[in-house]
Structure 1
């Protein structure tokens, strides 16, 4: 029987990857390029759409060459993208009104703060609390504690609608289209034929209500967002994505899946059952638990997202995250704490402890259970005896500690029985972090042979859609585990004091930017920064760019 070939296009925060798999999910072609981030003003983090498009075209060509295949030999492709990065463009001409505003952008920080503390939002949350007390509806419980954050799309889109004149005019003339990255990419790949968002990506924007499975009707009038600019929300697999136009790669390639990167990695890790947990440690840390057919109403800040929808099958995920993981590793390398990320585990183990040093990993604020975008990063406890190895160990411990906190939130809010955590992402290659997570959670931690789970998850979804893989059980049987870390109870006991002191250190850094950040983060009065030409930087290593 002739082999089938699946192409997975995975666009993360740091890298664009094109991976070609055969029917056994062996990688036969692989290529990647760095995503170029632009920082035109303090707080702005952008991607140029023309640069991104050219990189996407190139990386797919390179993967085809690496596999010695032509586009005509690809059975179908799937797409996985970073979430909450958005753009707007003209319905008539297809020209964009601005660059991609990425999920790490904080230009709307002042709006986020104003809305979170506004009387209007407080009244809405109070109303939701009352409704929850009367109806016991989980949707209102979630609404009663909801906070806006910078990594949601909602208020960054609101900022764009208020501050970009060309977009404002286009909205008035019904000439504007909005989309997160996958929406724009599908539009481009199909020759401007479709305007759709896959449901997993839509659910991470803050504009989509997972409890009603529709664009949030309450948000449209409240934030003056016209519904006409929003894409159609579709299932994660099917023929509705159509095909690429032949001109791009020489032959049309059927597109059969599109899914958000974090839920794609759940597919790659075969987290198909309720209670399954995966932990992605790439640019940021994302802790996802399969919550089955019901969205989770969290009070600690876990975010309810749609994992996937395939016809009648709807699976939800509760997600906790920390925005800075590989970004911290890269920063530490840039300031000279070590030469290569591959050395960090050995460096950390070269000292018995941190000598009382604690690191707060909050370059982009802190997620659950703090939910504080004004928290600051930094070291606490530096003394004359401090050496580089203490600082490196403190950084690695902090990454593990944040995961332990996310796990504690899940334990407090659910009744699931947990046995293991399935790792992916480049930072998961660090043995020190992986083992410490196992020790402190008391769970078996599994690291796959290949840590690029979002690419593999795309292939799983495409293959299942086309019948190449007969069932999810078949996919489970094909899963390749590389290294298993088992908990050491004596280590957990030894870390009790250290972890408690670290939490005290974090509390001291919470709210650090509360008075100054909203007014200074995107100030146009800082001539030394805002009048420069755009700064271009390749993003720090994500997922497989970090090696053991």
Structure 2
């Protein structure tokens, strides 16, 4: 029997491939960056051939690093940058234009026009999302309207739309499968959140012909098998898919309602499993499908902080206080507290639950005794405060406390930050032994579909905590910190 699962994590700046054995031990991890295309200010594009090339290359290198053959792979799982919008020819499999990346803002005016026309309440109620160029629908409409002949070909059924998961499955299966999973479909503004199907009213609103759409499938099932991929033999099941943040939630084994994870990258994404029914937010959070596995669907609340690791990068690149991002912890530890210093890292405005795009970074409480160490510590604490505010909103919306708070991403390796996060949230923070939770989630979903793992309980038992941070701060001290933060954030 094949002994490994291969996970493709197709991200915004690069593609990572992970080879995992049954005991969750990584046999190989390979990453390759690819070209970023910026045609105009606010526009961000990817060449789908660059993405496919990086995928083929990383799969080949990962198999070589693991010392295995393609025939040793039991299943392939995919996780992907969400919302990025691709359009290609069904007959040739060639892209008709560059993909429009989730960061792209070219459809800002189109979204504003839809809001002015009064469509946002419908979109919010039907999809759990907001009218924003972040999501796929207005990007797809732009491609159809601005690529020569695209709309006519799409209406005739000659073109295929998909997020990056759909494109990769199409290529991996030699064009046999045009599918997406519910988690990715829930990010398009085109899917009814409760019915988990394409919504005709939304398709009409955004001018999307049904012929262009992929079939919506579960997050863990066999979509097809490899065919014509030069680095893999034919016949390997492609069997798991989820958007990157949902995959990280699954990779953290957050299978029960109330369980949550936060990914600390450049920004931070907090997702909480809210169970089999969607919870609609009144505090600026998004409602999304987490996954469908074994016929059961789980929903999640999602909130994002624009700034996490980016604040540390600013200390490094903008102020020159540290040479490397990991150096911030040692500098911050030179002082036991920030004193009166508070840093609100609103370097790109404030996201949920504040939603103040006009906000700017603020450093308050400076005196003659303030040092670089104080600022470093205040930066880490500011990141934790932003997540605390998100978590408080999420707990209030879901009506479910966090039994534990799981973390991943590069900045989660900072022990000082994680301890302060546990103190603020008043719940244990758990960092897994394996930080690559996004790829891990894709591997889990694929492995479950082919019986590589028996069930989620087997995965939960195998999942291992790397380090646990217990809350230590006294309640009165925590209240003083939070009061100081709230005062500062009002001035940002």
Structure 1 window deviating more from structure 2 (63-72 vs 413-422): it is 413-422
Q: Which residue of 2 aligns with 1:81?
A: 80
Q: Which residue of 1 aligns with 2:241?
A: 258
Q: Which residue of 2 aligns with 1:319?
A: 302
Q: What secondary structure sits across from 2:220 in the alignment?
A: coil
Q: What secondary structure sits across from 1:17 in the alignment?
A: strand
Following superposition, the deviation at residue 394 of structure 1 comes to 3.7
Rounded to whole Å, the distance in 2 between the matches of 1:204 and 1:145 is: 9
2:166 aligned with 1:159, yes or no?
no
Rounded to whole Å, the distance in 2 between the matches of 1:161 and 1:475 is: 42
Q: Which residue of 2 aligns with 1:40?
A: 39
Q: Which residue of 1 aligns with 2:353?
A: 369
2:204 aligned with 1:221, yes or no?
yes
Q: Which residue of 1 aligns with 2:10?
A: 11
Cα 1:101–1:296, aligned 2, differ >3 Å: closer, same or farther? same
Q: Say if 1:277 and 1:287, in contact at 8 Å, map to a contact too.
A: yes
Q: Which residue of 1 aligns with 2:27?
A: 28
Residue of structure 1 aligned with 2:423, choices 439, 443, 446? 439
Rounded to whole Å, the distance in 2 between the matches of 1:141 and 1:80 is: 25
Q: Say if 2:262 and 2:269, in contact at 8 Å, map to a contact too.
A: yes
Cα 1:241–1:260, aligned 2, differ >3 Å: closer, same or farther? farther
Q: What secondary structure sits across from 1:107 in the alignment?
A: coil
Cα 1:42–1:397, aligned 2, differ >3 Å: closer, same or farther? farther
Q: Say if 2:226 and 2:233, in contact at 8 Å, map to a contact too.
A: no
Following superposition, the deviation at residue 387 of structure 1 comes to 5.0
Q: What secondary structure sits across from 1:120 in the alignment?
A: coil
Q: Which residue of 1 aligns with 2:112?
A: 113
Q: Say if 1:444 and 1:484, in contact at 8 Å, map to a contact too.
A: yes
Map 1:59-78 to 2 at 5 A.
59-78=58-77
Map 1:182-261 to 2 at 5 A.
182-261=165-244
Rounded to whole Å, the distance in 1 between the matches of 2:371 and 2:45 is: 36
Rounded to whole Å, the distance in 1 between the matches of 2:305 and 2:329 is: 21
Deviations 1:414-439 (A, max 9, x none): 22232210111122111222112111
Structure 1 window deviating more from structure 2 (146-155 vs 397-406): it is 146-155
Deviations 1:306-335 (A, max 9, x none): 111134211111111124433444444333
Following superposition, the deviation at residue 65 of structure 1 comes to 0.8
Following superposition, the deviation at residue 274 of structure 1 comes to 1.2
Q: Say if 2:127 and 2:190, in contact at 8 Å, map to a contact too.
A: no
Give the gaps of 5 or more residues in structure 1.
129-139, 507-548
Once superposed, what is the RMSD of the aligned Cα atoms?
Answer: 2.5
Cα 1:469–1:92, aligned 2, differ >3 Å: closer, same or farther? closer
Following superposition, the deviation at residue 148 of structure 1 comes to 1.4
| TM-score normalised over the length of structure 1 | 0.82
Cα 1:151–1:234, aligned 2, differ >3 Å: closer, same or farther? same
Following superposition, the deviation at residue 163 of structure 1 comes to 3.2
Rounded to whole Å, the distance in 1 between the matches of 2:491 and 2:15 is: 36
Deviations 1:414-467 (A, max 9, x none): 222322101111221112221121111111000011111111222222222222
Q: With CA pairs under 8 Å and 6+ residues apart, which has the higher RCO, 1 or 2?
A: 1
Rounded to whole Å, the distance in 2 between the matches of 1:457 and 1:232 is: 22
Rounded to whole Å, the distance in 2 between the matches of 1:55 and 1:308 is: 26
Q: Say if 1:246 and 1:252, in contact at 8 Å, map to a contact too.
A: no
| TM-score normalised over the length of structure 2 | 0.91
2:340 aligned with 1:342, yes or no?
no
Cα 1:382–1:154, aligned 2, differ >3 Å: closer, same or farther? farther
Give the gaps of 5 or more residues in structure 2.
none
Q: How many residues align?
A: 487
